[in-house]
Amino acid sequence: MIKRKLVLSFPEKTVTKPIIYKLVKEFDLEFNILRAEITPDMEGKMLIELKGDKQRIDNAVIYLSENNVTVQEAAKDIIVDRDICIDCGACTSICITRALTLDKKTFKLDFDKDRCILCELCIDSCPVSAIKVNM
């Protein structure tokens, strides 16, 4: 079993189709929608994490492309520069997924990349600019 984070872009014609449902039904994959939005002109974007066998995920990506869904690897990552971070915890209050937390014993910042949905809200909340996007 592997996990892959993908950014999916849905054109207007595919927004109303049950494409994500078919990832479960036809490809036996687990999915977690990390972020999703539909613009006023009915185009959609979604950050999704797929979990399953590599071959099934590869086949699902082909299926998505055949249905006019643009697929990109989620190439961005949030990184915390430990040399700059002062462990103030300001970012923890804005982190909606609790990917950023303060250790109750050491009062050091912990970052769980698997929980991060790349919303980037933490970047502006850091008073010393220790949180950045790695492309």
Exposure letters 1-29 (e unless 16+ CB within 10 A, then b):
eeebbbbbebeeebeeeebbeebeeebeb
pTM of the entire structure? 0.68
Per-residue CA distances from 93 to 18, 104, 122, 126 (Å): 35, 15, 9, 11
C-alpha 23/C-alpha 18 separation (Å) is 9
Tokens of 9: 């872009």
Q: Which CATH number fits domain 77-134: 3.30.70.20, 3.40.190.80, 3.20.20.210, 3.40.630.30?
A: 3.30.70.20
Tell me the per-residue pLDDT of 72-116, one tens digit each, with 9 for 90 and over: 888 677 899 999 999 999 999 999 889 999 999 999 999 998 888
Among residues of the chain, what percentage have pLDDT more than 90? 63
Domain boundaries, the chain: 2-73, 77-134
C-alpha 103/C-alpha 89 separation (Å) is 10
C-alpha 67/C-alpha 8 separation (Å) is 11
Confidence at residue 14, expressed as pLDDT on a 0 to 100 scale: 82
Q: What is the rounded average pLDDT of the residues 24-53?
A: 88
Per-residue CA distances from 14 to 17, 31, 44 (Å): 5, 19, 9
DSSP state of 61: H
Confidence at residue 135, expressed as pLDDT on a 0 to 100 scale: 61
Q: What is the rounded average pLDDT of the residues 42-53?
A: 89
Reported as a pLDDT band with limits 50, 70 and 90, residue 65 is: very high
Do the domains 77-134 and 2-73 match in fold? yes
Architecture per CATH, 2-73: 2-Layer Sandwich (3.30)
C-alpha 135/C-alpha 129 separation (Å) is 17
**H/E/C letters for each residue in 73-90?**
ECCCEEEECCCCCCCCCH
For all residues of the chain together, what is the average pLDDT? 90
